[in-house]
């Protein structure tokens, strides 16, 4: 790849500023020298200053007498035959010498100072240019530079607030031996395949044009946060031997009207000059939101979007510029931006499945020292629903735990514990529960686990603990599906409601009292029940009519009702009835198996944590030991 040459304007600006600085300094130095010139006085003044003991230093020669007072001022006078001169000088306390202090020529001093400052600024410029050249030759993964920057030199961003002088603050990826490649990205095989096709087109466009195919002008990466959209873009930079421009959508938004559009024009002008190349715009929803007639519309954002649409339309079929963009809010993008001819291809980057999670864990495990017998599939199954960023964090947390435990390699227990850290937070050892609260939490968690185990089509229990976590949970029950599920049946959802109700039901059954510990269970149960009625069509009253829509699919899945107030009232009543039905079912199950509830709760109370195998062993045993009342 050819080196990206910096703009020559910074050189001119640098030297202009350098000249102004050292000229100013030397002018001050010159005037200072002038003020220090030797003053010619009469011999009588010399005699008076000698008698008054005002002299600090005297130099006598055959042609003149040069002397200096205690204020640092120099004087000179002609010599006169005086036999008592040395005696008077000795009595005055002045230091007298036989050599003359000849004042230097001010022009000579000025030229010396000028030369020194030229050398200083030349050394600074040589050092900076050498560093930049070395950085480019080393081939970093990413180099920051000003695209079309009028000032262009670090530290010389002009304009009001630094915004008018710089048109663009993009970044360009260059070829690097240690950059991210497609092999470093796991769990997104479909996305890699589509992006590999784009890279191949940029390398060998003739192969596609021979058959009459044209590559999409733009590709939009959509998916939840942490799934690797930006990582895939960096992998494209690592695979492609073409310039790769990267900029965030928020960098186009400026406080001055028209600056965003100018940045877009400048970015695409640079891209056309470097073609074939790739332009990556991260978080494009910052400038690509739908346009409307609202009075609150941001004119600057709309101008920027219009300029972006115009630039994408202006590309010809053979320019070799491909636009990549990433967002986790595709529903908010303007329709004109998504039409064919602009972003032709939409590449989903979803949460990884079981196989994808295993591959991602293995990729990140290469960076740490890990035991050979680690079961990555068990870890991936436990971390169901985790994104690529969370899986990377799990491996890192496991490595940190191994160091805390004094081990040099990561083992299975480290990874399992790190999954729980990501899900529920760290163990809060400083929080000590009273015996009564600890007993309530034990029954609560066993209530969840027992109801789950007594139902069919329910995920097996893997772990029960009553150790408080930093997330605020006083305990939790971990269920892990043996297989990957992409569809949920009505029976499975009903079982989840019963399982979530099991903790509250155990409190009611054993203590005849309820606590605030079920708040999270209630929230989850209400959300599931409402979704069953309003979105999944699992109610006889509404059949297959959607009463609710999801607004942010990848950002929490917020919903909004689309029905009349009367229907909303009816939905609320149906949600209450559905949850209450499963709550009663859980209560009845626990009442029928109260001896097992006591036995397992006692074991959990004593050990604080039990595994799924221990739980099932106690459940299937014939022991019916009653827990003594505390």
* Helix 519-534 / helix 565-592 crossing angle, nearest 10 deg: 130
Phi, psi angle pair for 245, to nearest 5°? -85, 135
DSSP H or E stretch at residue 123: helix 106-138
| Residue 343 contacts residue 323 (beta carbons within 8 Å) | yes
Alpha carbons 57 and 50: distance in angstroms, whole number:
10
Question: What one-character DSSP code corresponds to residue 610?
Answer: E
Neighbours of 129 (CB within 10 A): 14
* Helix 490-511 / helix 565-592 crossing angle, nearest 10 deg: 60
| Residue 391 contacts residue 353 (beta carbons within 8 Å) | no
For residue 463, give both structure tokens. 């772990």
| Residue 315 contacts residue 217 (beta carbons within 8 Å) | yes
Q: How long, in residues, is the chain? A: 630
CA angle, 29 then 34 then 36, to 5°: 100
Q: For the chain, percent helix, then strand, then coil, each to nearest 5?
A: 50, 10, 35
Question: What one-character DSSP code corresponds to residue 628?
Answer: P
CA angle, 556 then 561 then 562, to 5°: 135
Instruction: State the first-to-last Cα distance of the chain, in angstroms, to the nearest integer.
Output: 76
Neighbours of 68 (CB within 10 A): 18
- Sheet with 609-611, side-by-side order of all strands: 476-479, 461-465, 609-611
Within 314-434, residue ranges assigned H as helices are 335-338, 354-365, 376-382, 388-404, 412-424
For residue 8, give both structure tokens. 């020559």
Alpha carbons 196 and 452: distance in angstroms, whole number:
45
For residue 482, give both structure tokens. 């043996």
Alpha carbons 526 and 546: distance in angstroms, whole number:
17
| Residue 231 contacts residue 160 (beta carbons within 8 Å) | no
Choose the catalytic residue: 188, 239, 420, 445: 445
Q: Is 599 a catalytic residue?
A: no
The three-state secondary structure class of 368 is coil
Alpha carbons 412 and 370: distance in angstroms, whole number:
9
Which residue is associated with the tokens 């097996």?
Answer: 460
Alpha carbons 424 and 467: distance in angstroms, whole number:
11
The 3-class secondary structure across 241-277, one letter per residue, is CCCEEEEEHHHHCCCCCCHHHHHHHHHHHHHHHHCCE
Neighbours of 608 (CB within 10 A): 14
Which residues are annotated as catalytic?
Answer: 445
């Amino acid at each position: 790849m050819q080196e990206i040459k910096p703009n020559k304007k910074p050189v001119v600006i640098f030297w202009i500023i350098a000249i102004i600085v050292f000229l100013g300094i030397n002018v001050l130095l010159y005037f200072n020298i002038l003020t220090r010139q030797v003053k010619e006085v009469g011999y009588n003044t010399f005699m008076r200053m000698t008698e008054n003991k005002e002299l600090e230093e005297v130099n006598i020669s055959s042609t003149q007498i040069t002397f200096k007072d205690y204020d640092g001022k120099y004087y000179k006078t002609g010599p006169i035959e005086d036999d008592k001169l040395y005696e008077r000088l000795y009595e005055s306390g002045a230091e007298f010498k036989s050599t003359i202090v000849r004042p230097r020529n001010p022009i000579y001093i000025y030229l010396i100072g000028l030369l020194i400052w030229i050398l200083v600024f030349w050394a600074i410029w040589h050092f900076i240019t050498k560093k930049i050249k070395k950085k480019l030759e080393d081939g970093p993964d990413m180099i920051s530079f000003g695209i079309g920057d009028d000032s262009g030199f670090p530290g010389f961003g002009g304009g009001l607030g630094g915004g008018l002088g710089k048109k663009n603050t993009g970044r360009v990826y260059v070829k690097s031996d240690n950059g991210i490649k497609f092999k470093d990205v796991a769990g997104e095989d479909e996305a890699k395949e589509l992006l590999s096709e784009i890279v191949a087109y940029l390398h060998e466009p003739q192969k596609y044009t021979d058959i009459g195919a044209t590559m999409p002008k733009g590709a939009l990466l959509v998916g939840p946060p942490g799934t690797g959209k930006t990582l895939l873009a960096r992998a494209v930079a690592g695979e492609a031997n073409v310039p790769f421009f990267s900029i965030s959508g928020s960098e186009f938004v400026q406080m001055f009207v028209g600056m965003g559009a100018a940045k877009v024009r400048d970015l695409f002008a640079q891209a056309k000059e470097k073609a074939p190349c790739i332009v990556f715009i991260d978080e494009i929803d910052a400038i690509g939101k739908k346009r409307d007639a609202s009075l609150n519309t941001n004119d600057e954002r709309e101008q920027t979007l219009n300029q972006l649409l115009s630039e994408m339309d202006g590309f010809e079929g053979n320019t070799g510029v491909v636009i990549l963009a990433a967002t986790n809010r595709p529903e908010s993008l303007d329709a004109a931006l998504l039409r064919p001819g602009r972003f032709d291809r939409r590449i989903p980057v979803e949460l990884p499945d079981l196989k994808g999670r295993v591959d991602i864990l293995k990729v990140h495990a290469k960076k740490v020292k890990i035991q050979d017998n680690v079961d990555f599939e068990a870890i991936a199954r436990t971390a169901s629903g985790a994104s690529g960023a969370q899986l990377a964090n799990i491996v890192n947390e496991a490595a940190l735990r191994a160091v805390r435990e004094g081990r040099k390699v990561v083992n299975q227990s480290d990874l399992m514990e790190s999954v729980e850290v990501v899900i529920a937070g760290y163990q809060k050892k400083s929080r000590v529960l009273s015996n009564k609260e600890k007993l309530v939490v034990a029954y609560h968690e066993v209530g969840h686990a027992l109801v789950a185990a007594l139902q069919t089509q329910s995920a097996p229990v893997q772990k029960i603990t009553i150790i408080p976590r930093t997330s605020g949970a006083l305990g939790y029950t971990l269920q892990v599906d043996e297989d990957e599920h992409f569809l949920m049946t009505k029976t499975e959802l009903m079982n989840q409601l019963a399982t979530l109700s099991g903790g509250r039901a155990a409190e009611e059954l054993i203590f005849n009292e309820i606590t605030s510990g079920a708040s999270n269970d209630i929230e989850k149960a209400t959300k599931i029940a409402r979704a069953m009625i309003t979105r999944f069509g699992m109610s006889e009253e509404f059949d297959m009519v959607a009463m609710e829509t999801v607004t942010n699919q990848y950002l929490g899945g917020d919903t909004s009702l689309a029905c009349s107030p009367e229907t909303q009232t009816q939905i609320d009543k149906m949600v209450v009835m559905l949850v209450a039905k499963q709550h009663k079912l859980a209560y009845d199950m626990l009442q029928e198996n109260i001896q097992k509830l006591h036995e397992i709760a006692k074991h959990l109370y004593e050990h604080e944590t039990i595994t799924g195998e221990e739980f099932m062993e106690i459940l299937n045993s014939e022991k019916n030991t009653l827990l003594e009342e505390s």
